[in-house]
Structure 1
């Protein structure tokens, strides 16, 4: 009898979940409805950002213009617990701290975003770091493509990163508000929307149930 490690069991469960969601996506592709349709049409970036909870990066994938993986090679847990925390929010600006775990320590940077006023409610912002030691890293463009109706607990963005001497790289990123409890998952609709872009691309999962935001992450290097 073959025994599976906890990691292998998780990968098997993940692939079964992805398969079921992909089947659901095929059905919804004809006529999206319910929470999936509302989440795509009723976008509000300010409501997504207006929370005292950390915004955890749950999944992301990068569009390199081709199918890059199949089956169990499409999933990679990074355990970095990347998160954003609001410092200040207005109708035009969003200031936040981004932290991620680098092995046993945390790296943190401050950012300032300009929120685009059109359309309204806004769906797009452009931001750069304000932590002096990192200099000017170039504007990152973030466009909201889905938010969980009413609660805004799960959201999906198209993110474009500048690259020196190369074409910009586009990433699809899914964020959740605060920690999930009791082994729960983001809603099916949020995951389905994410997978419409990330099917057959490597999906990275920074979030896990042990993610926390330690006090020391508040200390950002000067």
Structure 2
């Protein structure tokens, strides 16, 4: 009996540390796989958003913008003012009940006739928030429209080159490696240059957006 107990205790002394070692070694792998899954999920929803925005433009002739001038680079950003609010009733991809037609020079009747939405198959928050609860922003830079996610570090890297990092993750930039995800929607011709420098534009956009949803 004593020998059996001793054997069991010895087995436990060997087995328990081994299990702990396996768990310790596998934790970084699990975390990495989780991050990769979230990144791929966010990239997928951003490409879906791109398709929705292009469909909207095909029907209405414009992408969502704020103000009265579609050539103003600073008029393209994520907000209710640009028709891209974070609620279903403030987002022109989901509802036609918007004053957005006035900015396009269309009558309300013509706008409602040309609007073929909804252009999203789920709630706005399912697409405009990433896997970490942070906003996916919509911005114009250098005559092109981009969708941009901060990635798993939840910080927008202002040194990133949107043009060369489109569709990539961990793209090489001057200051190192970025986990940001960027998807180019389309190019726009004849745009007026932005009045704000890149960092200030993004900070203004972020300041106007809802706080992170946990």
Same fold (TM over 0.5): no
Higher helix share: 2
Higher strand share: 1
Q: What TM bracket, shorter-length normalisation?
A: under 0.3
Q: Which has the higher contact order (CA 8 A, sep 6+)?
A: 1
